[in-house]
Amino acid sequence: MLVIAAPGQGAQTPGFLSEWLKIDSFADRFAWLSAAADLDLPHYGTQADADTIRDTAVAQPLLVASAIAIAHELFPHSEYGCGSAAMVAGHSVGEIAAAALSGAITPEAAMIFVRERGQGMAAASAVLPTGMSAVIAGKPDEVLAAIEAAGLTPANFNGSGQIVAAGTLEQLKALAENAPARARVIPLQVAGAFHTVHMAPASKRLELLARSISTSRPVTELVSNRDGQVVASGAEYLERMVAQVTHPVRWDLCMDTMATEGVTGLLELAPAGTLTGIAKRNLKGVELFNLNTPDQLNEAREFCARHSEAK
């Protein structure tokens, strides 16, 4: 059983689309998605530096457009881009790409939604200096207690050995100075306290926008960050994406669902490595594939075919 996964913010690296944009079909689709987002995404994916693509208003549309366009290169004859996958999932902003790849919303709607999400979250982040830090290792109860003691929110539950804390930079500093026993606190390359109350203004903005977005029933299983549940309604999934801006990402529960459903292979779309790294620790026995460059496409298709047959 195959799952296609789209990464979240922080996965982007300078120039990660340089080779992809040499493919005419990719370049054409990416230009269209770029137009829908009203951003020069080809520039950001090839020439912009790390600080520029760290900007929330840039990073989020860039990642969603990349996932959509790369999935269509992987499955060139698939109407939506999910191909032979039995399940599609995305981490945080990756959920928007997953929604488009499953047919729950159109790619154009996905790009408008993520543009507004990115701009809204960037504006919310500018109100007060905030950020996120990953807490690696340590006992879960002690980690959660330390996060609470610092006044922070556990924003991402990424499975065994990793919980991401979010809040003000002062609170994050306090956590780092009082790290839980046997744990490391690592600042993340994001520009705000995502999935917390700090993002409430962005959530309100998306609520208004979502009223005009048409949805359809997903053509493949679509897993929600809210609780790891498979959502069969495009309208419900859209509601969940709006609410997710201020709620924790339960990627641990998404992986639980994958395991329960019997996933045998997980392919992460570029820029890949984050979700497969987490899966390596949490989905024992599941084969993993990082699709980062076009020269991997044939191997990736063989991987997908093999795991699509293992149902």
Q: Known catalytic residues? A: 92, 195
CA distance 110 to 276: 24
- How are strands ordered across the β-sheet holding 87-90? 221-222, 87-90, 2-6, 265-269, 287-291
Tally Cβ neighbours within 10 Å of residue 12: 24
Residue closest to 112 by CA, chosen among 5, 255, 239, 213: 213
Tally Cβ neighbours within 10 Å of residue 243: 14
C-alpha distances out from residue 229 to 24, 75, 237, 240, Å: 37, 25, 10, 11
CA distance 206 to 57: 14
CA distance 157 to 77: 35
Report whether 244 contacts 195 (CB < 8 A).
yes
Cα four-point dihedral sign 247, 251, 252, 255: positive
CA distance 193 to 154: 10
